[in-house]
Structure formats: structure tokens, C-alpha cells
């Protein structure tokens, strides 16, 4: 149904231009909105306030916005559970009653016992903006270390809880980021942190010198022992892990996001240092477990789809590796452990397949799953004879299954009681040719009875990078869109891991344009196939997917009616200068290198906006505490888009407060954002709330 009443014409704030010109190897590039990179300036704060005022005035004028939010809240209001895991006599699980801002961690003795609250993050802040990020139990279960993130920032604080009493100890650790909490018995744990940052620039300044420390329970952080640092390479990240038997301390060192180096220390041998197990940084490798004196490692060395090998720390060279699980035609995503077995998680055309193996590699069985979908959570401790995993798909609400390690039997343990009938929807998987002929998969979810008359509203979603696969997911907000007559289209673009490292490499560095070509080809396929037309087509993506939206809407502004770039990487010439952006150079390249500059400049969304072009109706979203992709990317892109757009479509930016890149966002904020985004999409696609 077409909306009959147009909204008032937009009067955008006038954004001052203070041009700064950089010389990139003889090419001069002018940046008129560099001043918006200073998120602490009063001018930037005033700009944010003015932009939010205009955006909220527009959104509040959409006649069905309140009804959309009310419906989303109704759909959201059902109990949500995580898979239980066992530690000693206790089963632990997260539960959100429905609209709680943060899920609560419960525990119970036995599966039939009455649960009790172990940790309630909702008590950390009145508005729900403090979130539990990580909880790790000591080897014997005496203590639980946990981290808290506030307002969506990547910065974390760590604390320790006595499991028996539920009371916190006095330990407080600050300035943790990108860290695990890996215990050595009950004595203490290893963690990663950065030096104490400057308070004013802690959300934007480049992160350098990631280091590993050991914290002993009951001591101040100032007495923590430095375990590993690399003063010669400040732009590396390092994670520490202990094997379940505490035999080995393992380090994963990353130089960006596309290569790892593995080191190991035998804790049973006194006064030994770290041994280089896998040199970096040409391949990806990850520790799985130890098998006695040998280490099991997942690697793509000579195996683009990954394999599992056994490595002797005393002879770590590749010539001495023993293949445990050979490479398959499907892409291996992860390997977990539990009950004395390995669980290899693969993707078959972006859908999960899981195989149980012995530690020597013998195949025990394929684990039967309900259908085409996504399954996760396989594994536990060595002594476990059971564990729980979660399965879901686009119209299959999350279901938790109990798995018997010995028999291989999966039994439904708990399913989500959602506020709609999943049988009203169906999903197809189609394959379409991209610009260069590459076959690309896409999932289409719609209401049963959908007619391919070329007039269906479509929401097209993708990511395309960093080896992150786009597998079937379950989303209340996207099903709301489908419930209203839309088609949700999710594309497995190159750059992800759906088909292994070759698929990833085909969408990175100087081949990044393949990702945008894939998405543009998906849109053209949907139009040619009479699913929709260009006036009924919306494009959405976040983070690297926000870059995707920005590149597609600047390259083909005629193809999309609506664009929703969320927390996107929009300035490809300066991303490496902020927080952890330097780590993406291995994925994108760097404007500091002449061989990369021209390519990046050629597709950078911020730099490829052109005056006099009619762009899609655009709602840019970001948040003031996003220290992953700093909000300056979105600020500058929105300012230039408003200045350049020649058509009648609105070009707005929504800037959330006390929120970050997306992690830990309270339910109330999630629903508010979803209501604004879907109201904007529906209105500009000519839809009306039923």
C-alpha cells in the first residue's frame, strides 16, 4: 500500500566545511569534514544534537512508527535461553524473561532443580547499558572471573566472584580489551590488556602494545605479572589460553585479521620459555587442545578449507605435522572439544554440518541436525558425557538440544515460544551469477503465498569480509518485516568463510570490488526474477557491511530505494588511524602504501559521493561509544551525503548515546533502533503497517 501523505521536506543543519588537504603519492585529496573526527569538541557535540533532532522529527512524523515499535515489543517479549553448560554439580545458563535489558545468568543443581540467580547484569546500571561480556570458571570451580563492558565500549573491567557464596572478591582489573580469561588451576588467570589510555581520547586513539598478564587471586592489579609483550611491534594483538589439563600456556599473536602466529609454553617444565609453533603471519591457525604432549591445531596452511593437525612442540616444523582431520570440500569453521572428542563444524552452502571425531581423527558420526540452518555450542569438559547445543534458522526459532556424547542422540531440551506462527514463512536458497560469473548463494525468506509479480518490498542484507560467514539466522525484527509482506534476502558474499579461505581472499585487498559486485548482482537478480523492482529494494549492513552499503549506494545509486549503512567503515583512507582500525589493513590494505591507495580511493564511500546525484533514502546509524568503528566515519559520510544529494530522498543520521558497535546493547535500545530503522524502510518503500 502506498503512503498517501508525504512527510515535510527536510531542512538539514548546515555543516561547516574546514577543508584539510592530504597528498597521497602525488594525488591531493581534500577532506572538508575532518573536524568531525574530534568527538570531544563542542562543535561536534552540537552537530550531533542538531542531526539527531532533525532525524527524530522525521521519524516521529511517520504515521505508523509507534505501531511498529509496539508490534516489535510484543514479538520480542518471549523467554530467551542460552544452552546450559555444566561446571561441577551446577548447570549454568542465561535467560532473558522477554524484555529485560540484559540476560541473567542462572544456575541449578540438576536439570530438574529450581534455578537460582548467579549474576544479574541488570543491577549494574539503571538503564541497562552495563553488560556482562565474559565469565570464566577456575579449573576446580572455586572462582568465576568475569568482565563488564559499559555503554557498548570495547573496554572491559574484570572482577572475581566466589562461586560458593556468590560474593565478589576485592579484585578489580581495568583497561582490558580483546581478551580471554584463562585460568591456571584456582590460583589466577591470564588476560590481555592495553596500557592505561588518555581519558579524553580512550574511545578514538589508536590502540597499541597489547600485552598478556597473569593475575593472582586476591592481589591488586599493580602486582600482576607480565607474561608477554612485544615492544618492537605495537600493532599486534595477543591472546593467552591454557589447555584444560593446565599442561600448556598458549599464545595467539595476530598482525591484523588475516594471519596468526602460535606460541606454546610447557607449564610442567620449569624455567622454559615460549616455543614458536606456527610462524606468522601468512596463514590462519588456532589451538584446539592438547593430546598429551602434542598440540592439536586448526590451520589453513596448504589447506584453504582448513584441516586439523597434531604438532610436537619439540619439533614444530611443518614437515613433522601429522594430519588428524584432513581438509574436506566443505569449509571448516571451528573445532571444539567435549567428552574426549573433537567436534568439527563445517559449512555446506552456508549451512552448518557437524562431525564428531576421536582425538586421533577417526570419524565417529555426523551429528543429525533439523535441517538447513545454524548450530553452535558443541562441547564441554573432558569428563562430560553430555552437552547442549543451539539450532535455529530464518523461520525456525532457537531450539536447545541435549546431546549424548556416547550414543550421538540429540533430544529437544527447550524451544523458544515465539509470538507468531513459524509455519507462515518459508525459506529458499538460490544461486546467482556475479559480474565475473562466480556463483553466489542467497537465502530468501517470505510469507507463504508470496507472488513474484515484481512488486514485493525486499530487504537485502550482507557482510562480505573478515572470514565472517552469513549463515541462517533468527531475527525478530527481520521476521516482522516479512510478516508485513516483505522478502528478507541474505547473501553469502565473497570475503566471508562460507567456502573457505579462497572465498575470503576473493573479497579482500585489491579484490574487494568483488564483494560489491556480488551484492549489486544479487539486487539485479531479484529484479530480473520478478521478486521486486528498484523502487521496492532496501539495502542494509553493519560495520564492514556498512562499508558494503556505502560502496553499493555510491556505485549504483539508481539500484536501491533505501540504504541503511550501520556503524560503517566509510573513510577508507583514514580507518587505520583510530583504535583497532590498524588491524584491518591485512583485509583492506592501507592508504599509507602507494600500491593500495588508488584502489581504496576508488571505492571509499566517503570519497565517492558526488554532488548532483540522487541517492537512495538513507538512514546512517552509529553511536557515541563505538570504539571499534569510530563514529567519525558515519559523521563525515552523512555530512557529505546531505551536501551532495540532489534528489528528494531523505538523508539522515541516527546517533545513539551510551551505546557502541552493537555488543551489550540493552533490549530497550535494540527495540528503539529496530523500530526507527524498519519504520524508515517501510515508509520509503511505500509500505504501510497492516
Burial class of residue 184 in the structure, from the number of CB atoms within 10 Å of its CB (0-12 exposed, 13-18 middle, 19+ buried): middle
Ramachandran region, residue 98 (left: φ > 0; alpha: ψ -120 to 50; beta: rest): left
Which one of 215, 607, 633, 661 is the catalytic residue?
Answer: 661
Catalytic annotation, pick one of 83, 543, 634, 679: 543
Report yes or no: 545 and 568 within 8 Å, Cβ to Cβ. yes
Q: Contact, 359 vs 296, CB < 8 A?
A: yes
Question: What does the DSSP assignment read for 457-487?
Answer: -EEEE----TT--------HHHHHHHHTT-E
Q: Using an 8 Å Cβ cutoff, are 496 and 465 in contact?
A: yes
Integer angstrom CA distances of residue 644 from 18, 81, 613, 641, 649: 16, 46, 7, 5, 12
HSE-CB of 8 using CA atoms within 13 angstroms: 11
Range list of β-strands (E), 350-453: 351-357, 363-367, 374-376, 386-392, 399-404, 410-415, 425-433, 439-447
Q: φ and ψ at 569, to 5 degrees?
A: -85, 100
Active site residue 543: yes
CA distance 327 to 307: 5
User: Burial letters for 204-231: b for 16+ Cβ neighbours within 10 Å, e otherwise?
Assistant: bbebeebbbbbbebeeebeebeebbeee
Query: CA dist 84 to 107, 110, 289, 389, 474, Å?
Result: 9, 11, 22, 8, 19
Assigned C-alpha cell, 518: 556480488
Q: What is the CA radius of gyration of the chain?
A: 25
Cβ pair 46, 35 in contact under 8 A = no
Residue pair 391/398 in contact by the 8 Å Cβ criterion: yes
Active-site amino acid positions:
543, 661
Amino acid at each position: 500500500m502506498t503512503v498517501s501523505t508525504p512527510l515535510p521536506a527536510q531542512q538539514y543543519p548546515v555543516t561547516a566545511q574546514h577543508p584539510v588537504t592530504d597528498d597521497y603519492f602525488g594525488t591531493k585529496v581534500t577532506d572538508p569534514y575532518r573536524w568531525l573526527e574530534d568527538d570531544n569538541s563542542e562543535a561536534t557535540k552540537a552537530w550531533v544534537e542538531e542531526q539527531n533532532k532533525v532525524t527524530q522529527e522525521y521519524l516521529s512524523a511517520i504515521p505508523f512508527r509507534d505501531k511498529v515499535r509496539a508490534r516489535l515489543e510484543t514479538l520480542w517479549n518471549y523467554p530467551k535461553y542460552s544452552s546450559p553448560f555444566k561446571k561441577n554439580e551446577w548447570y549454568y545458563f542465561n535467560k532473558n524473561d522477554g524484555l529485560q535489558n540484559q540476560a541473567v545468568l542462572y544456575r541449578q543443581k540438576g536439570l530438574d532443580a529450581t534455578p537460582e540467580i548467579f549474576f544479574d547484569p541488570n543491577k549494574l546500571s539503571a538503564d541497562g547499558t552495563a553488560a556482562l561480556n565474559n565469565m570464566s570458571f577456575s579449573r576446580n570451580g572455586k572462582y568465576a572471573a568475569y568482565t563488564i563492558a559499559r555503554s557498548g565500549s570495547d573496554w572491559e573491567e574484570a572482577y572475581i566472584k566466589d562461586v560458593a557464596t556468590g560474593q565478589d572478591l576485592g579484585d578489580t582489573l581495568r583497561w582490558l580489551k580483546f581478551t580471554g580469561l584463562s585460568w591456571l588451576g584456582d590460583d589466577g588467570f591470564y588476560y590481555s590488556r592495553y596500557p592505561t589510555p588518555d581519558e579524553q581520547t580512550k574511545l578514538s586513539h589508536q590502540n597499541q602494545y597489547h600485552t598478556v598478564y597473569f593475575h593472582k587471586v586476591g592481589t591488586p592489579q599493580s602486582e600482576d605479572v607480565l607474561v608477554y609483550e612485544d615492544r618492537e611491534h605495537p600493532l599486534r594483538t595477543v591472546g593467552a589460553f591454557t589447555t584444560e589439563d593446565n599442561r600448556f600456556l598458549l599464545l595467539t599473536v595476530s598482525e591484523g585479521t588475516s594471519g596468526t602466529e602460535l606460541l606454546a609454553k610447557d607449564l610442567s617444565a620449569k624455567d622454559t620459555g615460549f616455543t614458536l609453533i606456527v610462524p606468522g603471519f601468512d596463514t590462519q591457525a588456532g589451538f584446539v587442545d592438547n593430546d598429551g604432549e602434542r598440540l592439536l591445531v586448526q590451520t589453513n596452511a596448504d589447506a584453504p578449507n582448513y584441516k586439523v593437525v597434531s604438532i610436537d612442540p619439540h619439533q614444530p616444523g611443518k614437515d613433522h605435522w601429522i594430519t588428524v582431520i584432513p581438509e574436506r570440500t566443505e569449509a571448516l569453521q571451528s573445532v571444539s572439544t567435549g567428552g574426549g572428542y573433537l567436534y568439527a563444524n563445517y559449512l555446506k552452502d552456508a549451512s552448518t554440518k557437524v562431525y564428531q571425531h576421536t582425538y586421533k581423527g577417526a570419524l565417529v558420526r555426523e551429528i543429525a541436525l533439523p535441517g538447513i540452518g545454524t548450530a553452535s555450542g558443541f562441547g564441554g569438559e573432558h569428563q562430560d558425557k553430555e552437552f547442549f547445543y543451539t539450532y535455529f534458522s530464518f523461520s525456525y526459532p532457537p531450539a536447545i538440544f541435549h546431546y549424548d556424547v556416547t550414543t550421538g542422540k540429540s533430544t529437544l531440551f527447550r524451544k523458544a515460544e515465539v509470538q507468531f506462527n513459524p509455519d507462515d514463512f518459508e525459506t529458499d536458497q538460490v544461486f546467482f551469477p556475479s559480474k565475473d560469473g562466480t556463483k553466489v548463494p542467497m537465502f530468501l525468506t517470505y510469507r507463504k503465498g508470496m507472488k513474484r509479480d515484481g512488486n514485493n518490498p525486499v530487504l537485502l542484507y550482507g557482510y562480505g569480509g573478515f572470514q565472517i560467514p552469513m549463515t541462517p539466522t533468527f531475527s525478530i525484527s527481520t521476521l516482522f518485516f516479512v510478516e508485513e509482506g516483505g522478502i528478507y534476502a541474505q547473501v553469502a558474499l565473497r570475503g566471508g568463510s562460507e567456502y573457505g579461505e579462497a572465498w575470503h581472499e576473493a573479497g579482500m585487498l585489491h579484490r574487494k570490488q568483488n564483494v560489491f559486485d556480488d551484492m549489486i548482482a544479487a539486487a539485479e537478480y531479484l529484479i530480473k526474477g520478478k521478486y521486486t523492482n528498484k523502487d521496492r529494494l532496501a539495502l542494509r549492513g553493519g560495520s564492514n557491511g556498512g562499508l558494503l552499503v556505502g560502496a553499493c549506494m555510491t556505485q549504483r545509486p539508481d539500484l536501491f530505494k533505501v540504504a541503511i549503512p550501520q556503524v560503517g567503515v566509510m573513510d577508507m583512507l583514514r580507518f587505520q588511524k583510530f583504535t583497532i582500525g590498524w588491524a584491518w589493513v591485512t583485509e583492506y590494505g592501507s592508504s599509507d602504501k602507494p600500491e593500495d591507495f588508488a584502489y581504496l580511493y576508488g571505492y571509499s564511500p566517503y570519497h565517492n559521493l558526488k554532488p548532483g546525484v540522487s541517492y537512495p533514502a538513507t538512514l546512517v546509524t552509529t553511536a557515541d561509544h563505538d570504539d571499534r568503528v569510530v563514529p567519525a566515519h558515519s559523521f563525515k559520510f552523512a555530512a557529505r551525503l546531505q551536501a551532495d544529494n540532489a534528489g528528494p530522498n531523505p538523508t539522515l543520521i541516527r546517533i545513539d548515546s551510551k551505546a557502541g558497535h552493537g555488543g551489550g546493547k540493552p533490549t530497550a535500545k535494540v527495540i528503539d533502533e529496530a523500530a526507527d530503522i524498519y519504520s524508515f524502510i517501510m515508509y520509503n518503500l511505500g509500505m504501510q503497517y497492516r
